[in-house]
Amino acid sequence: MLNTLSGRFLILTTVFVMLAEVLIFVPSIARFREDYLLNRLERAQIASLALLADDMLSTELEAELLENAGVFNVVLRRDEVRQLMLSSPIPRPIEATYDIRDASPFALIGDAVAQLVTPANRIVRVIGAPLREAGLLIEVTMETAPLREAMIDYGVRILLLSAVISIFTAVLLFVAVRAFLVKPIKGVIGYMQRYAAAPEDARGIIQPNAGVIELREAEEALQQLQTELTQALKQRERLAQLGGAVAKVSHDLRNILTSAQLFTDRIEASEDPLVRRLAPKLVSSITRAVSLCEGTLAFGRAEEPAPTLMQVRLGDVAADVVDSESLAATDCMVEIRSDVPADLRVRADPEQIFRIMMNLVRNARQAIAATGKAGQVTIAARDESDHWMITISDTGPGLPKRAQENLFTPFEGGVRKGGSGLGLAIAAELARGHGGHVELATTGPEGTVFEICLPKGDGVV
């Protein structure tokens, strides 16, 4: 009970209402004391008026008037003359004087608190203004014990009433909180528990219906989160299935390419000049394909190897990319060229840097070919102080907005119809393995430029 939201709200409400009542109690008890003293002054004035009406009051009647007024004597000041109207013996000396004619609220509160904490029965003098301007002032002498008893009785009744009000208010708030807050929150928790049990079931996604604005915003945020998570789980499942299929295909393809690699060894022995010139490139392409299949299999086992960094002549890798993609571009008017300095060396994995450049060049070539117009793809590189920068620029139509928003996301960043969007995702992942990155520099109707940044690090020689 105490650990629940409604239980703690009940306790806090009771405490705060009681605190508010205590803050009200202090001025209330001060007001009660003031009214008590004014009442005694009023009674004393009435008794003195009886004496004014008949100067020959008996001693017994005068004592009865003082007893009814609850005072020992009455002094009335009229016309600058101070008259002792009624008097009786005072049992003890007067210990304090209170003038309530112009007393401030703070003074009244202080005197009331002092009266409550002082149990002794004292004799005090009280000065006030007569009613109906029956004089300049009226002064009485009285005991404080009856006043303190009356104040305690009044205070107990006030506190009991405050406790009843606090409990009643707290119960009402408890019921209201359970109805308007706790119940909807439990409903949200129920949705979360059902969704956690079966996140692939779309029926577990919450439907916002709360009337409280803040709670409805929480439900809408949870709905969006659940929807995105469900989609991500479905995509992850599809990727897992695709990964299994790719691993199987790669396994068999590796075996086929291994056999093809054996045949190319015999082709290299041919006397035909054209065959002898093209055979090394064929061998290199098949070797890369075998390596890619093996890497895919390793990735399927979550054993993707880290790049093997070495000093690589970047111009040779760029030339291989140009030759490979130029053969694929024979059916379109796309020129692929390399402006990489012949003596530029970078520290990278030669196979992975080839795959990064090939994916970017292939995307550029395919984008230009889709327009049916002639174009150009250029590979360039430069050596800077702390990194190497490789640029792949083209004269294509530029990237659409959707492709820019999901540029490196698998299956979402594709530009061509039927494209998977894996090329850029693979390039970005391989670049991160080198400690670098791939980013889109510019894109528009005049063309697109991608930049590959490879840090030099401590291994530069």
Dist CA 374 CA 31 (whole Å): 98
For residue 332, tell me if it sits in a domain.
yes
Q: What confidence tens digit (pLDDT) does each residue in 214-258 have? A: 778 888 888 888 888 877 777 777 667 666 666 656 555 655 565
CB 141 within 8 A of CB 41: no
Is residue 461 pLDDT above 50, yes or no? no
Instruction: Count other C-beta atoms under 10 Å from residue 427's C-beta.
Output: 23
Q: Looking at residue 418, what is its pLDDT?
A: 42
End residue of a domain, out of 138, 169, 200: 169
Query: Among 33-42, 98-107, 291-300, 373-382, which is the least confidently predicted range?
Result: 291-300
Query: Among 1-10, 177-186, 251-260, 326-335, which is the least confidently predicted range?
Result: 251-260
Give the strand pairing for 310-313 and 137-143.
unpaired
Amino acid at 52: L
CATH number at residue 403: 3.30.565.10
- Mean pLDDT score of the chain: 79
Q: Tokens 């945020």 identify what position?
A: 221
Q: Which domain does 40 fall in, by range?
A: 5-169
Question: What number is the average pLDDT over the span 121-137?
Answer: 81
CB 33 within 8 A of CB 142: no
Is residue 178 pLDDT above 70, yes or no? yes
The number of distinct structural domains making up the chain is 2
Q: Looking at residue 262, what is its pLDDT?
A: 58
Backbone phi and psi for residue 128, each to the nearest 5 degrees, phi listed first: -145, 180
Q: Looking at residue 10, what is its pLDDT?
A: 72
For residue 176, tell me if it sits in a domain.
no
76 burial via Cβ count (<10 Å: 0-12, 13-18, 19+): buried
End residue of a domain, out of 106, 137, 169: 169
Is residue 261 pLDDT above 70, yes or no? no
Q: Which two tokens stand for residue 400?
A: 């659409």
Q: Tokens 């098949």 identify what position?
A: 286
Q: Looking at residue 1, what is its pLDDT?
A: 54
Is residue 63 pLDDT above 70, yes or no? yes
The residues, ordered by sequence, that sit 6+ positions from 454 with a Cβ below 8 Å of its Cβ are: 346, 347, 348, 353, 387, 388, 389, 390, 431, 434, 435, 436
For residue 322, tell me if it sits in a domain.
yes
Q: Tokens 């960094």 identify what position?
A: 309
For residue 286, tell me if it sits in a domain.
no
Q: Tokens 């008097």 identify what position?
A: 87
Query: Among 2-6, 126-130, 335-339, which is the least confidently predicted range?
Result: 2-6
For residue 213, tell me if it sits in a domain.
no
For residue 282, tell me if it sits in a domain.
no
Backbone phi and psi for residue 82, each to the nearest 5 degrees, phi listed first: -95, 120
Amino acid at 414: G
CB 214 within 8 A of CB 230: no
Q: Looking at residue 436, what is its pLDDT?
A: 92
CB 344 within 8 A of CB 315: yes
For residue 190, tell me if it sits in a domain.
no
For residue 290, tell me if it sits in a domain.
no
Backbone phi and psi for residue 96, each to the nearest 5 degrees, phi listed first: -160, 155
Question: What number is the average pLDDT over the span 259-268?
Answer: 62
CB 358 within 8 A of CB 366: no
Confidence of residue 20 (pLDDT cuts 50, 70, 90): confident
End residue of a domain, out of 125, 152, 169: 169
**Secondary structure (3-state) at 130:** coil
Q: What is the DSSP string of 55-87?
A: S---HHHHHHHHHHHT-SEEEEEETTEEEEEE-
Q: Looking at residue 337, what is its pLDDT?
A: 93
